[in-house]
Amino acid sequence: MSAVAPPAVDPAAAEEMAQEAAAWCALHGLVVGDRANPRSATVPGVGLVHAPFSLLPARLPEHFWRQACELAPIFNELVDRVSLDGDFLQDSLSKTRQVDDFTSRLLEIHRKMMETNKKENIRLGLHRSDYMLDSETRSLLQIELNTISASFPGLGSLVSELHRTLINHYGHFLSLEPKRVPGNAASSKFAEALAKAWAEFNVDSAVVMMIIQPEERNMYDQYWLTKHLKITHGITTIRKTLSQVEAEGKVLPDGTLLVDNKQVAVVYYRAGYTPNDYPSEAEWSARLLIEQSSAVKCPSISYHLVGTKKIQQELAKPNVLERFLENKEDIAKLRKCFAGLWSLDDEEIIKTAIEKPELFVLKPQREGGGNNIYGLDLRETLTILQKEGGDARAAYILMQRIFPEASLAYLVRDGISHEGLVISELGIYGAYLRNKDKVVINDQCGYLMRTKVSSSDEGGVAAGFAVLDSLYLTDKVILHLSTFSAISFN
């Protein structure tokens, strides 16, 4: 394996590029709400700043990129197959529900749908599978599979354009080729999948309803999908919080979902994945109401449950994938990307993790960034859980800590570039649409690259830990610096 060093950029050149890039962001909608302006999370067009970004794309050997893209349709199919096995979901999460109220409430809705034999003939999944390149094994390992509110298809698509623009302009001294930044059509592909689900629903006057949080500084990422739906497909999108759905919504006897007197064809969740999204019973009532309707849900309650960390851990057990997939080559490809995953029923692995906490990550059933436990905190938490015994352990899974290689890069936030050692995570978007026995879509549809300083464990962009990035494909295996860190971007 030969070393490939990132291009050297002196601070003055980096500052010039950062200013040009920030202007490009403003002109092209690569923006988020400004945390300093309280109205920026509720009023569109107020208090905009450029989204945090990496000045140049992250390098990745092309064969790893192709591997990740090949996995997308396999994971799409797996999610659909697992979602149809209600008993597997209920049984696998039975212990978790006893100690995690959020999972318990989701399972309660799922159980009610099972009892009424509710069928989702039209099933839509917009997923994102996240990976890191492990420096020790030289393998691409999965961090997690997101089946609800897979964020940044809109802004992530724009970063690829930004980087190609910068390389075109400064390529003469960067020695970079814009063609090596792969195109990223995630926003238009997600919109196309939503539009095709709307078409399968087959009611011309119906709308797509996007479920949002009451305060959302990442609304412009979402508005890119709204734009594509309206301009390209002629479909109207309405934005509603769960509490608004509870106040304005009803389900007719034939299953029709009406919200604000508009029939809803597709419900697309960009909220509802965290307990914070359910501050009262009103939000839970809305979630149940939607699930009881005939509208297409993205995701349905069963798709949502497939994306839980406990199910990820269950699917990594021997012989479990064979329960859902027949193709041995597909199963082998999935297993190749699985990192080590264990339940806390395994006393030996707990003992090992307490002795060597730096090799593990403790993950609770939480999404959105900032929830994972590392190092001495991991040791302390496991020690307490071991002493207490009982079912409290079921709220967590233990995962192999992945050690990506660090490299020097400039990260730009608030118009200022900072150089530092960084590590990156690749997310591959997938779209899956099925109507009964007909698979309408099963595609890889773009990617998300996130980069952060290597000294921080957490990495969500919306949570403030990471920046948006894109890919620069190389034909060689990269060996950067021997400074390692490991994180999870949620």
* C-alpha–C-alpha distance, residues 143 and 456, integer Å: 16
- Amino acid letter, 5: A
Q: Is residue 128 among the annotated active site residues? A: yes
Q: Is residue 151 among the annotated active site residues? A: yes
26, containing H or E segment? helix 11-28
Is 142 marked within a binding site? no
Q: 318: Cβ–Cβ under 8 A, 6 or more apart, which residues?
A: none
Is 343 marked within a binding site? no
* C-alpha–C-alpha distance, residues 64 and 132, integer Å: 10
Any idea what the Cα angle at residue 466 is, between residues 463 and 472, rounded to 5°?
Answer: 145
Q: Is residue 136 among the annotated active site residues? A: no
Is 220 marked within a binding site? no
User: From the candidates 92, 151, 300, 454, which is the catalytic residue?
Assistant: 151
Predicted pLDDT at 7:
60
Is residue 364 scored above 50 in pLDDT? yes
Helices (H) and strands (E) in the chain, counts: 15, 21
User: From the candidates 95, 363, 379, 434, which is the catalytic residue?
Assistant: 363
Q: Is residue 144 among the annotated active site residues? A: yes
Is residue 244 scored above 90 in pLDDT? yes
Is 450 marked within a binding site? yes
Q: Is residue 367 among the annotated active site residues? A: yes
Is residue 188 scored above 80 in pLDDT? yes
* C-alpha–C-alpha distance, residues 111 and 105, integer Å: 10
Predicted pLDDT at 351:
93
Predicted pLDDT at 394:
84
- Contact between residue 258 and residue 293 where contact means Cβ atoms under 8 Å apart: no
User: From the candidates 54, 129, 146, 454, which is the catalytic residue?
Assistant: 146
| Residue bearing the bigger pLDDT, 261 or 484 | 261
pTM of the entire predicted model: 0.92
Is 460 marked within a binding site? no
Query: Among positive and negative, which fits the CA dihedral 25, 28, 32, 35?
Result: positive
pLDDT bracket for residue 6 (50, 70, 90): low
pLDDT, tens only, 340-361: 999 898 889 999 999 999 999 9
Looking at every residue in the chain, the average pLDDT score rounds to 91
User: From the candidates 59, 123, 128, 239, which is the catalytic residue?
Assistant: 128
Is residue 380 scored above 90 in pLDDT? yes
Tokens encoding 85: 């096995």
Is 296 marked within a binding site? no
Predicted pLDDT at 460:
54
Tokens encoding 395: 């709220």
Any idea what the Cα angle at residue 216 is, between residues 214 and 221, rounded to 5°?
Answer: 135
Predicted pLDDT at 4:
44
User: From the candidates 368, 413, 415, 420, which is the catalytic residue?
Assistant: 368
Is 273 marked within a binding site? yes
Domains delineated in the chain = 11-339+402-484 (no CATH), 340-401 (3.30.1490.50)
pLDDT, tens only, 446-484: 999 999 988 765 545 655 568 999 999 998 644 333 222
Tokens encoding 353: 């993790």
Is residue 124 scored above 90 in pLDDT? yes
User: From the candidates 450, 460, 488, 490, which is the catalytic residue?
Assistant: 450
pLDDT bracket for residue 369 (50, 70, 90): low
